[in-house]
Structure 1
Amino acid sequence: MLQVQFYTKNNCSLCDDAYALLMMLKRYYDFELVELDIYTNDEWLEEYQLLIPAVRMNDTFLTCEEMDLETLEHAIKNNV
């Protein structure tokens, strides 16, 4: 099963929007969503602080600038 790692933080409206998109796509595609709070890991905080929300699945990495329904769906379809 595809694992989608979702890098996020609390009180982030962009993260909330991306989460809603992922939940919508989860109804149509079989994947495991793993939420990763960047404030629980110093490496994640340093690497993703300005990029969240961010999603990683296999070799695909999407940042906040690419976080729209079409791009997410395309990435999931290509990785399932």
Structure 2
Amino acid sequence: MRLTLYQRDDCHLCDLALGLLAEVRAPEFESVFVDGDEALEQRYGIRVPVLRDEDRGVELEWPFDVAKLERFLGP
């Protein structure tokens, strides 16, 4: 599973998402900051944080909780 967390600098919601990822002991993921990248700003700008499973091509948008995150990550 290749995960990417799209986020912004100084983003309170992104900090909450990072805390949930740690709580569920999510596998390693890449952090991508959308700030300053026009294409990423258009795609994720108002939706961050967004966790994307690159292998399945699916995304989990905020707001999510432990239960939603565990379902997204699977068994």
Distance 1:77 1:42 in 2: 32
RMSD: 1.5
Q: Note the residue ranges of structure 1 that are not aligned, 5 or more in a row.
A: none
Percent identical across equivalent pairs?
22
Distance 1:37 1:77 in 2: 25
Q: Note the residue ranges of structure 2 that are not aligned, 5 or more in a row.
A: none
Listed as ranges, the matches of 1:10-49 within 5 Å are 10-26=9-25, 31-49=27-45
Shift of 1:3: 1.5
TM-score with structure 1 setting the length: 0.80
Distance 2:23 2:72 in 1: 14
Q: What one-letter code is carried by the residue in structure 2 that aligns with 1:39?
A: D
Which of 50, 57, 62 in structure 2 is aligned with 1:54?
50
Residue of structure 1 equivalent to 2:69:
72
Q: What one-letter code is carried by the residue in structure 1 that aligns with 2:23?
A: M
SS in 1 for 2:24: helix
SS in 2 for 1:6: strand
Shift of 1:52: 0.5
Structure 1: 4+ residue segments shifted above 6 A: none
